[in-house]
Amino acid sequence: MMHRSATILLLVFLLFTGCTKDADIIEAVDPVTDNNQVSTDLESDKPSTNMTAEQDDSLKASPIASETTNDHNENDAIAVTETEETDEVAFSNLNFEYIDTERDERIEKTVNQAYQKLTNDFKLDFSDAITFKIYKDQKEFWERVFGGENNGITTGFANHVEKIVHLTSPKDTSIKSEAEMLKVPVHELVHVLLPSNTLDIREGLAYYLADQLKDFSTDDIPENVVNIVTYQGEGDQIRMQYNLAGYKAKFIIEECLDMDYLKYKTYMTSPNDYAMLGYEHEADFSNALTAYLQSQAF
Ligand SMILES: [Zn+2]
């Protein structure tokens, strides 16, 4: 008798939790699958977890994923864990390794949030593991990643083929402020998720999406805005090239494509297709971009 009451109580509990917390998800789940899931849940005695393990492929690209509690991952789909009180997410395919330095949860938080936003905005079907290696300081980062002498500019590096990101710890502020250092992991994540061989697109998009844009003057605007990133010049000049390429990405996404990230993704595959951006010839685009940069200058 006691056992039966307990079972009924458990069923009531399941119904209750199912109808409140995960209401949005249940609507999207096939009723047959849902029933199967409930019976699995009964056996595992974990009513609120694993409700949607098999739905991950569709969920991970939608905002619903952020509301999913799913820490039982039996297939190769990406698990998303979330704490009850906050909106923080943690994707199981993002790994963080700290080399001779303490864990820094700020990096993990910004990377996970950016990963969620980028895969959603750009509708990326991405499931590979990405490893972030964080070194204690600039010297260690350079020695381990490049060897030789530190160039005084680079504090992060992404190998988009192997999907490894190397980073100087944000606690080392010898090159940038801590706030700026904390944007670098997102910049490098953009390189892994949205790689491009076109320098202006590669660096401009990363700069723009990682919120690294800075003020500039009309004197900084180059003659040739078709190829802004040339790597000619000193550290500050190269940084300004990245910055202006960032404004170029902003111009294309916000002004030419009206925030349509999917169209930008198509543009990335044919960067000389100015018709896609609403301009007949390269010169028309170039003039419009120069005028835009002048309007943004201080
Ligand atoms: Zn970069």
Query: pLDDT, tens digit, for every residue of 183-203?
Result: 999 999 999 999 999 999 999
* 85 in a structural domain: no
Contacts of residue 14, defined as CB under 8 A and 6 or more positions apart, other chains included, come to 38, 41, 42, 47
pLDDT value for 90: 95
Which residues, in sequence order, are CB contacts of 297 under 8 Å at separation 6+?
216, 217, 218, 220, 221
Q: SS3 string of 197-211?
A: CCHHHHHHHHHHHCC
- CA 127 – ligand 1 centroid, Å: 22
How many A from CA of 204 to the centre of ligand 1?
Answer: 8
The pLDDT assigned to 81 comes to 79
Q: Quick one: pLDDT at residue 148?
A: 82
Q: Which of 190, 157, 207, 214 is nearest to 265 (CA)?
A: 190
Residue 82 in any domain: the answer is no
Total-model pTM: 0.73
Tokens 């056992």 sit on residue: 3
Q: How far, in Å, from the CA of 249 to the mean position of ligand 1? A: 13
Distance CA(265)–CA(246), nearest Å, equals 16
Answer yes or no: do 97 and 175 share one domain: yes
151 CA → ligand 1 middle, Å: 15
Residue 126, both tokens = 């991405």
The answer to whether residues 234 and 252 belong to one domain is: yes
Give the strand pairing for 94-99 and 156-159: unpaired
- Asked whether residue 88 is domain-assigned, the answer is no
204, 183: one domain: no
* pLDDT value of position 250: 98
The C-alpha atoms of residue 68 and residue 161 are separated, in whole angstroms, by: 30
State percent of the chain over pLDDT 90.
Answer: 67
Residue 11 has pLDDT above 70, yes or no: no
- One-letter identity of residue 247: Y
Q: Tell whether 105 is covered by a domain.
A: yes
Give the tokens for residue 79.
Answer: 């698990």
Q: How many domains is the chain built from?
A: 3
Query: What is the C-alpha to C-alpha distance for residues 245 and 200, in angstroms, rounded to an integer?
Result: 5
Q: Which residue has the higher pLDDT, 11 or 202?
A: 202
Q: Which of 128, 183, 124, 131 is nearest to 158 (CA)?
A: 131
pLDDT in the model for residue 79:
81
Residue 218 belongs to a domain = yes
Which residue bears the tokens 């943690």? 90
Determine the Cα–Cα distance for residues 98 and 85; give it in Å rounded to an integer: 27
In tens, the pLDDT along 56-71 reads 333 333 333 333 333 4
Q: Mention every residue, 6+ apart, whose C-beta is less than 8 A from residue 115.
A: 91, 94, 189, 193
| pLDDT given at position 3 | 52
So what's the pLDDT on residue 258? Answer: 98
Q: How confident is the model at residue 23 (pLDDT cuts 50, 70, 90)?
A: very low
Q: Which amino acid is at 266?
A: T
Other C-beta atoms closer than 10 Å to the C-beta of 163 total 17
What's the gap in Å between 260 CA and the centre of ligand 1?
22
Residues 202 and 271 in one domain: yes
- Distance (Å) from CA 280 to ligand 1 centroid: 30
Residues 200 and 298 in one domain: yes
- Tell me which residue range forms the domain holding 165: 93-192
CATH of the domain at 144: 3.40.30.160
User: What mean pLDDT, rounded, does the chain reach?
Assistant: 80
Distance 166 CA to ligand 1 centre (A): 12
Pairing of strands 164-168, 156-159: antiparallel
151 and 176 share a domain? yes
Digit-coded pLDDT (tens) for 83-111: 656 678 999 999 999 999 999 999 999 99
